[in-house]
Amino acid sequence: MLWSLSRIGCFAAVFIATTLSAWGECRAQMAMPRPGLAAAATAAGRTFSAEEQTNITVYEAVNRSVVNINTKARVARGLFLLEVPSDGAGSGIVVDRQGHVLTNFHVVDGVEEIEVMLFDGSSHTAAVVGVDPPTDVAVLKVDAPAELLFPAVFGTSADLRVGQRVFAIGNPFGLERTLTTGIISSLNRSLPARSGRTIKSIIQTDAAINPGNSGGPLLDSEGLLIGMNTAIASRTGQSSGVGFAIPVGTMARIVPQLIERGRVIRPEAGISRVYQTDRGLLVAALVPDGPAERAGMRGFRIVRERRRQGPFVAEFERVDRSGADLIVAVGGDSVKTADDFLSAVESKNPGDRVLISVQREGHQLDIPVTLGAEK
């Protein structure tokens, strides 16, 4: 199978918060004291259990950070082009008081109009600031007063554990700011993205997630954002207790870039095509004067030959695969598929040097390649 690697890159792990005031505000809030979960929660003389207290505290701390996203798309009906509303299309997470809202790319893909409804019921027009289809992440900008914007506080997804209690807030079926609870059922799942790539390190949860929850927050028991709900596994289109969320670590790497430049700048290894084999990836073509070619990697060669045919001499071209490199590892980690290779490269930054291990003419070589920046 021939795979295209013309857009090889990584989830740039470059936190540009120091140059991005909007993101800096969100990060600053991480140091702010959170409501004490051990505090007694009472209302009209009612006393709640410890579990109920946690549920209430998390919801009250974060529900104002969740928005309902409604969209309109134009669809062809015969000879006419109609605008079709999609109420409760998805959810979103307020990132800062400048109006940036985080959601899934598939929630806003191909739509003409976006309306964001805040916690107070007010609706505001939103525009797409940046999208990253390979991770199904989009950032919107909503025109709303700062006093109505309550940014969520980013946590970490580096130390999550299976069995850990989690909370999802979203707008299933258009029912805004609905809370559901559950646990982390598994970690490091993979999901196919619309771009044809695979999203890695996905969080699996049994918290009820339904259509309309996409783009909403997945929270820990401290009310910190640990993921963004993105998909469910279901034969009916409704929750079957298997939901998936993009980890906050992925979003923390790419959201600042989406806010600053509208897209993610990924590193470029300079390998444009490979053939997937049982032993590794056979390099078919390199980007001319790209990082891999400059490092001495080899792809297929075009050999020109002349043959006499009667009184004429004809020139032919053939592809010589014998000298092409077979990629077997990146940075010491074996690769079997194109997605393995892309994931390994995407863990680096432009300018980083990586060792690409190849088999060439019966020998294994470790070739240092300095990654370039994706154009």
| Alpha carbon distance 16, 25 (integer Å) | 12
User: Of 42-46, 147-151, 170-174, 283-287, which range is least confident?
Assistant: 42-46
Domain endpoint, select from 200, 230, 261: 261
My answer on whether 212 and 159 are in the same domain is yes
pLDDT computed for residue 339 by the predictor: 75
| pLDDT classification of 74: cutoffs 50, 70, 90 | low
User: Of 138-152, 165-179, 260-274, which range is least confident?
Assistant: 165-179
My answer on whether 237 and 308 are in the same domain is no
In a domain, 104, yes or no: yes
Q: What pLDDT digit, counting tens, does each position of 284-329 carry? A: 999 999 999 999 999 998 777 777 777 777 777 777 888 899 999 9
Position with higher pLDDT, 15 vs 280 = 280
Domain endpoint, select from 261, 284, 304: 261
Please list the helix, strand and coil fractions of the chain in percent, rounded to the nearest 5, in that order. 20, 45, 40
My answer on whether 50 and 124 are in the same domain is yes
In a domain, 13, yes or no: no
Q: Among this protein's residues, is 124 annotated catalytic? A: no
Site of tokens 């795979």? 3
| Alpha carbon distance 272, 288 (integer Å) | 10
Residue 154 bridge partners (DSSP): 225
Q: Which residues contact 93 (CB under 8 A, 6 or more apart)?
A: 65, 66, 67, 101, 102, 103, 152, 215, 216, 217, 225, 228
Q: Among this protein's residues, is 214 annotated catalytic? A: yes
My answer on whether 115 and 208 are in the same domain is yes
Give the residue numbers spanning the domain of 225: 34-261
Catalytic site residue from 157, 185, 201, 214: 214
| pLDDT classification of 176: cutoffs 50, 70, 90 | confident
In a domain, 165, yes or no: yes
CATH number of domain containing 338: 2.30.42.10
Q: Is 192 within 8 Å of 68 (Cβ atoms)?
A: no
Q: Residues 62-88: what's their mean pLDDT?
A: 68
Q: Among this protein's residues, is 136 annotated catalytic? A: yes
Our count of domains for the chain comes to 2
Which amino acid does the sequence have at 184?
A: I
My answer on whether 105 and 206 are in the same domain is yes
My answer on whether 79 and 146 are in the same domain is yes
Catalytic site residue from 96, 132, 136, 340: 136
| Alpha carbon distance 177, 179 (integer Å) | 6
My answer on whether 147 and 227 are in the same domain is yes
Burial class of residue 218 in the structure, from the number of CB atoms within 10 Å of its CB (0-12 exposed, 13-18 middle, 19+ buried): buried
pLDDT computed for residue 253 by the predictor: 86
| pLDDT classification of 241: cutoffs 50, 70, 90 | low
Q: What pLDDT digit, counting tens, does each position of 38-54 carry? A: 444 455 567 888 888 99
Q: H/E element holding 261?
A: helix 248-261
My answer on whether 164 and 310 are in the same domain is no
In a domain, 27, yes or no: no
Catalytic site residue from 65, 91, 96, 106: 106
| pLDDT classification of 200: cutoffs 50, 70, 90 | confident
User: Of 61-65, 256-260, 309-313, which range is least confident?
Assistant: 309-313
3-state SS class at 339: helix
Domain endpoint, select from 219, 246, 261: 261
User: Quick one: tokens of 199?
Assistant: 């999203």
Above 60 in pLDDT, residue 192? yes
In a domain, 211, yes or no: yes
In a domain, 21, yes or no: no
Burial class of residue 297 in the structure, from the number of CB atoms within 10 Å of its CB (0-12 exposed, 13-18 middle, 19+ buried): buried
